[in-house]
């Protein structure tokens, strides 16, 4: 497993361009990576829709972002804001009906969408099926299928924005170098384990790491296929990345205790490092002039 941070040294938050007038959507925006990414995009001038399933946590995240925006020493560009949809509209990625309602509400709230960051993820403590239709394995439903459906719902708006003069629309799929775990287990060639829905839903070979690794592999495959399908859309790029390893709600799931001594300073440093990673995927001009295919930013290089 690769926990790489090397390539992040080449990108800083200051390389995120002036995003004034641009609109972003970030999933998992209530904490960890998603919260920090949302904050940095807003500080760079973007209007950011916070994709959250828990409205109370979303309200707390919005409060933190608003406080940062009120600090002139942190705000890099004017016009940024954090937008939280009404309490009756939550982004529950395992429920396609709720994903559709949330996406429709976003589309009715803005005429453009410049940045979509798909960063939400879960790691359940045990095998289970999503409690809502279509009742697939919960990790797979949330981390992969939910984002797949969300992108499909927002893609027309992304395409329309890409058609405007000077547009630079980005879709960022947050994956992880944990995908190397799939190769370690010899599962790369097992298409049933990776892609066959009945096999996935049966729980065969299920473990927290296996389930998470499968979804991250699917994130990478999805990003590459999406890039291929939108190849002809000038002004629209898809990137995927390993954001780094940092303390998050996932890290402390399933009864893991927080070591507050170790956590001091690490939360801020690693979470901001992850935000830099996403900022790099948004800001760098790597895709222009290098073809339209998705780039995977992981370890110490782009590939």
Catalytic residue at 140?
Answer: no
Q: Which of 11, 140, 212, 296 is catalytic?
A: 212
Instruction: Give the C-alpha separation, 48 to 160, whole Å.
Output: 18
Both tokens of 289, joined, read 């002039």
CB within 8 Å of 20: residues ≥ 6 apart: 45, 46, 77, 78, 79, 80
Q: Find how far residue 18's CA is from the centre of its chain.
A: 21
- Backbone φ/ψ region at 265: left (φ over 0), alpha (ψ -120 to 50), beta: left
Instruction: Give the C-alpha separation, 215 to 260, whole Å.
Output: 30
Please answer whether residues 119 and 26 qualify as being in contact, where contact means their C-beta atoms are separated by less than 8 angstroms. yes
Signed CA dihedral, 249, 252, 258, 261: sign only: negative
Catalytic residue numbers read: 212
């Amino acid at each position: 497993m690769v926990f790489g941070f090397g390539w992040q040294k080449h990108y800083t938050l200051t390389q995120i361009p002036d995003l004034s007038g641009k609109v972003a959507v970030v999933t998992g925006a209530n904490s960890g990576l998603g919260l920090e990414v949302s904050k940095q995009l807003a500080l760079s001038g973007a209007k950011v829709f916070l994709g959250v399933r828990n409205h109370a946590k979303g309200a707390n995240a919005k409060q933190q972002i608003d406080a940062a925006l009120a600090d002139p020493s942190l705000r890099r560009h004017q016009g940024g804001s954090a937008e939280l949809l009404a309490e009756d509209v939550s982004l529950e990625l395992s429920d396609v009906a709720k994903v559709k309602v949330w996406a429709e509400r976003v589309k009715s709230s803005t005429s453009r969408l410049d940045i979509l960051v798909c960063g939400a993820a879960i790691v359940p403590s045990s095998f289970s099926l999503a409690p809502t239709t279509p009742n697939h394995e919960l990790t797979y439903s949330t981390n992969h299928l939910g984002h797949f459906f969300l992108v499909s719902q927002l893609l027309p708006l992304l395409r329309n924005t890409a058609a405007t003069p000077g547009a630079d629309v980005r879709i960022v799929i947050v994956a992880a170098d944990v995908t190397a775990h799939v190769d370690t287990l010899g599962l790369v060639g097992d298409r049933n384990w990776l892609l066959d829905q009945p096999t996935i839903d049966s729980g065969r070979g299920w473990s927290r790491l296996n389930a998470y690794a499968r979804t991250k592999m699917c994130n990478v495959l999805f990003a590459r296929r999406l890039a291929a399908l939108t190849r002809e859309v000038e002004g629209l790029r898809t990137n995927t990345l390993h954001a780094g390893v940092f303390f998050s709600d996932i890290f402390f799931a399933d009864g893991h205790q927080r070591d507050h001594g170790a956590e001091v300073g690490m939360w801020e440093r690693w979470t901001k490092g992850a935000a830099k990673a996403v900022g790099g995927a948004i800001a760098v001009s790597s895709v222009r002039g290098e073809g339209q295919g998705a780039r995977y930013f992981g370890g110490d290089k782009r590939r």
